[in-house]
Chain A
Amino acid sequence: MSANLEKAFHNEPAAKIKSKKESSIYRFFANLFRSWTGTLGFIIILGLLFISIFGPWITPYDPLYADFSKKLLPPMTDGHLLGTDQLGRDILSRIIVGARVSVIIGVLTVVIAGIFGTVVGIISGYFRGWVDVVLMRIVDVQLSFPFILLVLVINAIIGAGLRNIIISLAIGGWVIFARMIRSEVLALREKEFITACVATGVSRFEILFRHILPNLFTPLIILASLQIGTFIIAEASVSFLGFGVQPPEPAWGNMLNEGKDYIFSSWWLITFPGIAIIIAALGVNLFGDWLRDTLDPELKGE
């Protein structure tokens, strides 16, 4: 090596070698705890996950057990923290068990809609041409329908139930993913590092999977976390309208539906599931907002 190169070499500051994984997890939490909204969202999500996994074991009562002698008990009476409903079932237990429905639907719909939307978005954005035109017109047509209306129509066709509501919500929700991923891919494919890949001789397939896909991860995570909240609310709306999870199986949406007849006499029937929905959606959104704020600057190159 020549003198010049040697000099350049020794100018480098000595670097500490840190374990990559350790430092990135540490940075994640250090960053998270700096924002109280993000922390709050994170805690709510953790709580939600805990309840939906261990729900059946931590409920104070059987959520399906009806005791007519104890119907419509107000909160804090007779050992029922949040009261009982019109059939004498414990509301707290039903909310805890209902959390699982919301989480399953929120996560599964996002996964299904996300995968489908991402595939469509990538095909559209990367290959362009007439495929892009056709796919995006389909997206346009679908976006011109109100989301809830579309979901209800699909549900009316394929029927109610947990599986069908996931299908209908995914069909209603994939377009947002397709649109966003397409625009992201369009921006990425013009980036100079992609041109550099072409110049190196990387195949189109490899450019897509090794270079474009990893760069889509961040926007996907952000959109997915924000969409979970939307889907939880949508599920509640659809269940409220009677298309979702069928009684007596508890879900926050159908608890609202059953409770609405008693809104003037027994407010707790509708209030507590409503609060549960708000907290879940809020938590997911707070966390999603924080994620976007933290990850987006990194997205822009640095």
Chain B
Amino acid sequence: MKQKVLLSVNNLKKYYDIPQGLFKEKIIVKAVDDISFTITKGETFALVGESGCGKSTTGRTILKLTEPTGGRIIFDGNDIAALPYKKMRTLRNRMQMVFQDPYASLNPKKTVREILTEPLRVHKKFDHDTRLKKVKSMLEIVGLSEYHLDRYPHEFSGGQRQRIGIARAVILQPDFIIADEPVSALDVSVQSQVINLMLELQKEFELTYLFISHDLSVIQHMTDRVAVMYLGKIVEIAKTEDLFTNPKHPYTKALLSAVPITHPKEKKERIILKGDVPSPANPPSGCTFHPRCPAALDICKTQAPKTSEHGNSHSVSCHLYNKIEEEIPHAISHS
């Protein structure tokens, strides 16, 4: 069953220049460095990684909230990277975003009514009465109600605010929503409510999600495919189930081993990585993961690995898998 590709990101790059003063050479931070992936219609695609690995930047660049340095972002036939500001604005009714911090992403001076009507007004959808009706029904759908209409964001709890943020994103009935850590600022008990809400909305409105998170249990629960990012690069892409049962990249393995066990009797080998994440301003040579990799080879220090396919749309960027596949995975698990 071949499904329609909604978004394809090709060799996306986002570099930041950091000037160091008049006579010093400026530092280039490669926040997102040459990443590619595709998202098919209706699926939930996750970007996972440590903080600072570039996953949020990727999300923002796809929506052109920051200009990409290079590469192509093709959304349903339109190359977003090359689209001028005004044309991009009209395309925005098909792609929306849910932000991480529900306390910062709602204008404190606007009522819920104004916040939710705005997307409809901006994209000139419906007349005044229909808009209000839409807003009311959207409020109900996200679990709020009509009497919240004239309240200000500070009168709500974090979970309620995030529901408003989600309602704002969904009210235009977009095809695609980027959720940038939508639950990480919330209480654990509220997290599951919000996640379930997002899943229900997905069913109801046939949404496609790009779900950015560092929480592996959330990802396991709600996504179809996962891309693991490390220092601005995607190191592994696989179906969620596949990734959790059969991780290939050493970094993915370390990441998964950090998930707390669910049963006290469960035995789990914890892979502890040496050192810290290197600065993206001065990434290591070759494979950027090599200084911390438990299975690093000599080649890793000099050459960046190529991405290779390993069946079932599972791709890895690691030298270990560029060789004969059988020997080496065995070698890592004992290293």
Contacts and interface: CB of A to CB of B under 8 A. Distances in A.
Interface of A: 1-2, 4-5, 8-9, 12, 15, 17, 20, 191-193, 195-203, 206, 210-211, 214-215, 217, 298, 301-302
B261 interface: no
Interface in B85-109: 89-90, 92-93, 96-97, 99-101, 103-109
Nearest to B139: A9
B197 A5 contact: yes
Contacts of B142: 5
Given A5-B143, A12-B144, A196-B97, A202 B105 contact: no
Contact of A201 (B60, B123, B140): B123
B241 interface: no
B107 A198 contact: no
Interface in B193-249: 193, 196-197, 200
B140 A203 contact: no
B141 interface: yes
A9 B123 CA distance: 29
Given A196-B97, A200-B122, 10 more contacts: A8-B143, A9-B140, A193-B106, A195-B99, A195-B105, A201-B92, A201-B93, A201-B123, A202-B122, A215-B108
Contacts of A8: 143, 193, 197
Given A1-B141, A8-B197, A192-B105, A200 B96 contact: yes
A196 B114 CA distance: 14
A133 B106 CA distance: 31
Interface residues of B, number: 40
Interface in B37-90: 60, 63, 65, 89-90
Contacts of B302: none
A151 B101 CA distance: 47
B154 A9 contact: no
Nearest to B101: A192
B126 to A, nearest CB: 15
Contacts of B294: none
A17 B143 contact: no
A9 B107 CA distance: 24
Given A211-B107, A214-B109, A301-B104, A196 B99 contact: yes
Please provide the 10 A-B residue pairs with the shortest distance between their CB atoms, ordered closest to farther: A201-B92, A8-B143, A192-B104, A199-B97, A214-B109, A193-B107, A192-B105, A201-B89, A196-B105, A200-B119
Contacts of A215: 107-109
Given A201-B92, A203-B122, A193 B63 contact: no
A17 B123 CA distance: 31
Contacts of B119: 200-201
B65 A195 contact: yes
B7 to A, nearest CB: 15
A124 to B, nearest CB: 21
B314 interface: no
Nearest to A214: B109
A206 B150 CA distance: 21
Nearest to A193: B107
28 contacts: A4-B196, A4-B197, A5-B141, A5-B143, A5-B197, A8-B193, A8-B197, A9-B140, A12-B144, A15-B148, A191-B104, A192-B99, A192-B100, A192-B104, A193-B106, A195-B99, A196-B99, A198-B65, A199-B65, A199-B92, A201-B119, A203-B89, A210-B118, A211-B110, A214-B107, A214-B110, A298-B108, A302-B108
Contacts of A198: 65
B145 interface: yes
Contacts of A202: 118, 122
Nearest to A218: B109
Contact of B150 (A9, A20, A195, A196): A20
Contacts of A200: 92, 96, 118-119, 122, 168
A5 B143 CA distance: 6
Contacts of A195: 60, 65, 99, 105
B138 to A, nearest CB: 12
A198 B86 CA distance: 11
A215 to B, nearest CB: 6
Contacts of B110: 211, 214
Contacts of B23: none
A195 B168 CA distance: 13
A196 B168 contact: yes
Nearest to B201: A5
Contacts of B168: 196, 200
A168 B105 CA distance: 42
Nearest to B66: A195
Most A Cβ at <10 Å: residue of B60, B141, B143, B147: B143
B104 A17 contact: no
Interface in B106-152: 106-110, 118-119, 122-123, 140-145, 147-148, 150
